[in-house]
A and B are shown apart, each in its own frame.
Chain A
Amino acid sequence: MHPAYSVILFTTASGAGYGLLALLGLVGFNHGPASSLWFGATALVIALGLITLGLLSSTFHLGRPERAWRAFSQWRSSWLSREGIASVVTFAPALVFAALWLGFIASPEWIGLAGLATAALCAVTVFCTAKIYSTLATIRQWYQPLTVPVYLAFALATGAALLMAIASIFGLYQVFQAGLAIIALALTLVLKVFYWRRIDTEQKTRTIEAATGLARAGEKVRQWEVPHTAENFIMKEMGFGVARKHAAKLRRIMIAFLLLAILVTAATILVPLLAIFLSIIAVLLSGAAAVVERWLFFAEAQHVVSLYYGAERA
């Protein structure tokens, strides 16, 4: 699948934003009225900013962005519609939560509930995003039980790294934050490695023979001529392939980024003095890992239609 930068930016930025927002919600739920106004304001702005940036970027991917509102209508069947609704609905408790945190609404007793609701909706939104992909039976690498967990884990990990970094800047660094980030990053790494193992080892059951139905007596089918010598939408959108060597290298890079992010995060525990610096590095590393992972998520995904365009298996 073609790795569209708008979609990569959308899913990684909004993932980090939702992760951060969810964690802030949990912080709010846990701590009640916030201790630091500026920390809260900054973190909320960054979280909502990333989410908004992501959502806006996702509309760049649309042919008719002015009609985007129509996407809220089909929640009964469409995960994309559900995601759209969830993403917008999340703003409601999030804004209430923010207002409570920042004292625009003077009902601190509600902050816990608002925080919890926000966190839950953040999770739901990321879940919906992941479900868009994981329900597409046409793309084996997406139609996987680990697709959703990986999306959630990445959101959590990048959110946790962000939380730690923002907290550090405001002098609110706590080992707990680092611990959470380490666990989330490690979980992400493990899930992703399992995911890759799975897509690498799983039998490719779809074949050009099956797709064309031309091999019912054991024939071998091979593409002879492309339908058009000119390119087309299907070839550009779904014919994207990445060389195995190239993909393996990128996978190693992503693993390295995540491992480094874990190490750097762990280093904050050992050298709290450098927490600001180290946690920003951790954010950059985890963010870079997310971008590489998401690029690969698309680039390594092979659509069934590629069989009609000459792929032997998918």
Chain B
Amino acid sequence: MTSLPTPRPNQKKLGLVIDLDTCVGCQACATSCKEWNTQGYSAPLNDSNPYGASPEGAWLNRIHGYEVKAPGEDQSRIVHFPRSCLHCEEPACVTVCPTGASYKRAEDGIVLVNPETCIGCKLCSWACPYGAREYDYDHGVMKKCTLCIDRIYNENFVEEDRIPACVKACPTGARHFGDLGDSESKVSRLVAERGGYDLLPEMGYKPVNKYLPPRQRRADEKMQLVQSEPVKRDGKAVMDDFFRWADRLLSR
């Protein structure tokens, strides 16, 4: 199975589009992911030493914070950057797997680990440039984003809830889920409109997930009030002027 499935015509490519312009770094997607996946298909996601000196666990989605400073600016911007599996079209994490536990689904392109056959060699995590795979020390197998495979097709949910837990949770609406193989889908249009980009495209893994860049900030530097050029007048004159205006305006 580690050989990749041959892409079909109009291959479905399910994935996420993450809007870095809108993400406030609230961690809702991260904890919702942890919460869903610790009881669903990926269950459980380990936490070791949870109340001790160095708690740690497997998380399938983590939110980084970066400072981005433009040339010539003395201030930088903080960009919150959620990072999870990108469900690449050419996922090396799949091809390096010695057991076939890692695989890319033919029907929708989701990259999964079969927890029944994973031997926990961790090679897939080495092959992934995006740090998307996290090892479950308690269970000896690799865990990763499943795109909530147990939600998106789950017939126990109403249609609108058949989306990944992180997308459902996101309060600012910075996460979008859909078929990036369909150029007419909402997510594909978003990518086209907003210049959605791949992470490390030069590495050739062809991520399906896309990131929408922070928008250019509108500083409107030249904006001025009509009379805002400082006129050399003392405070009293300005006041008289203002009161004349106010009185006149109201006496219309």
Contact = CB atoms under 8 A, between A and B. Distances in A.
A62 B100 contact: no
B62 A77 contact: no
A222 B78 CA distance: 9
A298 to B, nearest CB: 11
A62 B96 contact: no
Nearest to B116: A67
B213 A219 contact: no
B240 to A, nearest CB: 49
Contacts, number: 203
Interface in A211-238: 211-228, 230-234, 237-238
Interface residues of B, number: 67
Contacts of B202: 210
Contacts of B78: 224
A94 B26 CA distance: 59
A237 B137 CA distance: 12
Contacts of B131: 234, 238, 305, 308-309
Nearest to B82: A227
A138 B83 contact: no
B67 A224 contact: yes
Interface stretch (A68-76, A96-104, A258-266): A68-76
Interface string B150-188: 000000000000000000000000000000000000000
A37 interface: no
Given A76-B2, A78-B2, A132 B123 contact: yes
B121 A214 contact: no
A304 B129 contact: yes
A251 interface: no
Interface in A109-155: 132, 135-139
Interface stretch (A25-33, A79-87, A168-176, A193-201): A79-87
A220 B68 CA distance: 6
Contacts of B213: 213-214, 216
Nearest to A205: B202
A234 B69 contact: no
B119 A67 contact: yes
Given A61-B121, A81-B98, A212-B81, A219 B59 contact: no
A305 B130 contact: yes
Nearest to B20: A214
Nearest to B25: A225
A64 B127 contact: no
B123 A223 contact: no
B71 A67 contact: no
Contacts of A62: 119-121, 140
Nearest to A139: B126
A206 interface: yes
A219 B69 contact: yes
B140 A305 contact: no
Nearest to B114: A70
B66 A77 contact: no
A77 B96 contact: yes
Interface in B15-52: 20, 30
Interface string B51-71: 000111111001111111111
Contacts of B147: none
B62 A63 contact: no
A303 interface: yes
Nearest to A67: B119
Interface in A275-310: 303-305, 308-309
A218 B69 CA distance: 9
A123 B97 CA distance: 22
Interface of B: 1-3, 20, 30, 54-59, 62-71, 76, 78-79, 81, 83, 92, 94-101, 117-123, 125-131, 134-137, 139-142, 197-200, 202-204, 211, 213-214
Interface of A: 1, 61-65, 67-68, 70-74, 76-81, 84, 132, 135-139, 206, 208, 210-228, 230-234, 237-238, 303-305, 308-309
Closest CB pairs A-B (n = 8) = A63-B120, A63-B140, A227-B62, A305-B131, A225-B65, A81-B98, A71-B98, A70-B99
28 contacts: A1-B126, A63-B118, A64-B119, A68-B119, A71-B98, A73-B98, A73-B99, A77-B2, A78-B96, A81-B98, A213-B197, A213-B213, A214-B66, A215-B68, A219-B68, A220-B68, A224-B67, A227-B63, A227-B65, A230-B55, A232-B134, A233-B125, A234-B134, A304-B203, A305-B128, A305-B131, A308-B64, A308-B131
Given A212-B81, A223-B65, A305-B128, 18 more contacts: A63-B120, A63-B135, A67-B118, A67-B119, A70-B101, A76-B3, A138-B92, A138-B129, A206-B200, A211-B129, A214-B68, A223-B66, A228-B59, A232-B134, A233-B134, A234-B125, A234-B131, A238-B126
